[in-house]
Structure 1
Amino acid sequence: MQKIAIVTDSACDLTLETMKENDIHLSPLRIIYSHGEFEDKINITSEEVYNSLETEIPTTSLPSPKTCERVLSQIEAAGYTHVIAISVSKALSGTFNAFRLALEGHPNLTSTIFDSKIIGYCQGVIVLEASKMVQAGKSYEEILEYLPKARENVVGYYTLNTLEYLIKGGRIGKLAGAIGQFLHLKPIITMDKTGVYCSIAKVRGRKQSLSKLHEIIKEHLTEGKCKLWVLQGDALEEGTKFMENLRNLHNVVSVELTLVGAMSAAHSGRGMIGIAIQRVD
């Protein structure tokens, strides 16, 4: 009889409570400061990252080998026979390979690593879909067959209040970033089919960027029913208002507000507003 464990990393932005409720096993990413190293969601929060940005912008790294090994050892000791690990986009992080190396040390576990080719709560939506299938009694093979469709049904868009942290983190060139800052450009960012960031629009000013994001959501809703999650990075008031403006749109099945994790906080800075969209068949 199969006993299936779902494993993911903290880039999925699911809360610890949600992961516990859905029997999802976490390998947290690392948030690294000059004074020490922390594990996302375990001993550091996004609020703590935001509060420290003026003094130091941390770097981020994949889950430690020690943590991956501990998680898999606990899974094996609990009698699980199969593992499905769902990682943040392989194009953005070495987490996929960290899972692969750790699983090689557990040959008694039948395992697969699924590259979500996405990041943030969109990744979390895929993880939750896999967990629901486990709870519904679906087989390991059935879940693996469904995961590519689950990925096709999810898309995310993000707009930032500042380009400062992308520039400092090396995500965009200093010259391009400086020009963008000078012109008050606010890019609308998504991820392409290969799992890398791409800009689909550049507008001037915060008001226009949120208006463009709202317009993109409405375009998706013309294609059918969707579940929506508004993602806010230290922008609770704006995020709440944005969410309320989505509630009564045609084809909205549900809409929720969620806070981004420490890893996203480190790279986007204060004021990120995003949307995770899941098409519902």
Structure 2
Amino acid sequence: MQKIALITDSGCDLDTEILNKYNMFFLPLRIIYKDNDYLDRLEISPEELYLSLEKEIPKTSLPDGQFIENTLNQIEAQGYTHAISISISSGLSGTANSLRIIAENHPNLKTYIFDSKTLSMPQGAITLVAAEMIESGSTFEEIIEVLPKLREKTDGYFTLKTLDYLKKGGRIGKVSGTIGEMLNIKPIISINDDGIYFTHSKARGRKQAIGKLREILDEHLSISKCKVWILQGDALDEAKAFLEVVKDLPNITHISISTIGPALGVHAGPGLLGLAIQRE
């Protein structure tokens, strides 16, 4: 009889209520200041992070190795036979690799580590489906077979007020825009198959960038029914306004606003607005 544990990290942006509902095991990334460091979402909130950015831009790091070890020990102690981890993109963090190495010390626990090659609610959306499959009685083998297919159906897009934070954090990937920023060109950023940021499209100014997000959503909805999450990082009013405009569009089976966590907020800076879309 299989007893399957589901592990994810704070890159997924699932809120505590959802994590608890499905009994997920949670690995927090770390927010590191000169004088202190915090566990992502557990010890620092998105609001606290944004308030601190003017004084100091912290660094981020993968979950603490001992925390991962303790989590795997806890999973084994609770009688789990299998564990599935859905991790933030390896192109942006070493979390998946660290977990893979530590899991080798737990041979009695059959572990599958899925590199989501994405982050935020696209990662969260994949994790949610896995949680629902576990709850409905799907086997370990059935779930790990579905995960790559889910990734193909799940996309994320966002625009930023400035690219400065991505540059400072070394997460700029294949996004280009230094000259464009001087011309007020705003890239719509997505994540490629390697799990790295790239410029999906461009718009002139914030208003047109938000309009481009609407066009992207319309394109997805013209193909199939979709679950939709509006992503926001210190841009709640814009997210609410966008929700009002699109919430009644046909083919949307779920829509809500999702706040990005502190670890992602460090690299995005204030003013992120985006979409996570999962085609059904």
What band does the TM-score fall into relative to the shorter chain? Answer: over 0.9
Tell me, yes or no, if structure 1 residue 257 matches structure 2 residue 257.
Answer: yes
Question: 1:205-248: per-residue Cα shift (whole Å, max 9, x none)?
Answer: 10010001111110111101111000110111100001111112
1:185-264 alignment to 2 at 5 Å?
Answer: 185-264=185-264
CA contact (8 A) 1:164 1:177 kept: no
Question: 1:137-192: per-residue Cα shift (whole Å, max 9, x none)?
Answer: 1111111111111111111101001122122223349xx65423321121100111
CA contact (8 A) 2:231 2:260 kept: yes
Question: 1:108-157: per-residue Cα shift (whole Å, max 9, x none)?
Answer: 10111111111111000111111111100111111111111111111110
Corresponding residue for residue 104 of structure 1: 104
Secondary structure, in 3 states, of the residue corresponding to 1:239?
helix
Tell me, yes or no, if structure 1 residue 141 matches structure 2 residue 141.
Answer: yes
Tell me, yes or no, if structure 1 residue 37 matches structure 2 residue 17.
Answer: no
Q: Which runs of 5+ in 1 are unaligned?
A: none
Match of 2:169, as an amino acid? G
CA contact (8 A) 1:246 1:255 kept: no
Secondary structure, in 3 states, of the residue corresponding to 2:231?
strand
Secondary structure, in 3 states, of the residue corresponding to 1:130?
helix
CA contact (8 A) 2:92 2:171 kept: no
Corresponding residue for residue 13 of structure 1: 13
Distance 2:172 2:268 in 1: 12
* TM-score when normalising by structure 2: 0.96
What is the count of residue pairs matched by the alignment? 278
CA contact (8 A) 2:177 2:187 kept: no
Corresponding residue for residue 271 of structure 2: 271
CA contact (8 A) 2:172 2:197 kept: no
Match of 2:225, as an amino acid? K
Q: Which runs of 5+ in 2 are unaligned?
A: none
Match of 2:194, as an amino acid? T
Secondary structure, in 3 states, of the residue corresponding to 1:245?
helix
* CA-based RMSD: 1.2
* TM-score when normalising by structure 1: 0.96
Residue 101 of structure 1 and its aligned partner are, at CA, apart by 1.4
Residue 105 of structure 1 and its aligned partner are, at CA, apart by 1.2
